[in-house]
């Protein structure tokens, strides 16, 4: 199978801490490489903070969704 789409979403690490504290907390996520198409199981990505250049006010979790299609013969 070959991945067609890799979706990334940044969020607070703990669901019970998913509160709005009035901070912008804007992040950009970029897939750098993936070895899924070669039978591997890793995705390498970059995280960049867009709203500030210093500090982190929370633990960040990145959810990854890989959508792959198998070619029918």
Question: Over the stretch 27-71, which tens digit does the pLDDT of each residue have?
Answer: 899 999 888 777 777 889 999 888 877 767 667 889 999 887 776
Question: Over the stretch 13-34, which tens digit does the pLDDT of each residue have?
Answer: 766 666 676 667 788 999 998 8
The domain segmentation of the chain, as residue ranges, is 2-69
User: For the whole model, what pTM was predicted?
Assistant: 0.69
Residue 62: CB atoms within 10 Å: 14
Q: Is the distance from CB of 3 to CB of 36 less than 8 angstroms?
A: yes
User: Cα(46)–Cα(26) distance, rounded to whole angstroms?
Assistant: 14
> Residue 3 contacts by C-beta under 8 Å, 6 or more apart in sequence?
34, 36, 37, 66, 67, 68
């Amino acid at each position: 199978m070959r991945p067609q789409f890799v979706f990334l979403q940044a969020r607070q690490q703990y669901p019970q801490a998913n509160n709005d504290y009035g901070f912008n907390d804007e992040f950009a996520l970029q897939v750098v490489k993936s070895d899924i198409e070669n039978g591997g199981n890793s995705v390498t990505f970059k995280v960049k903070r867009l709203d500030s250049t210093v500090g982190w006010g929370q633990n960040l979790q990145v959810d990854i969704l890989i959508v792959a299609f198998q070619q029918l013969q």
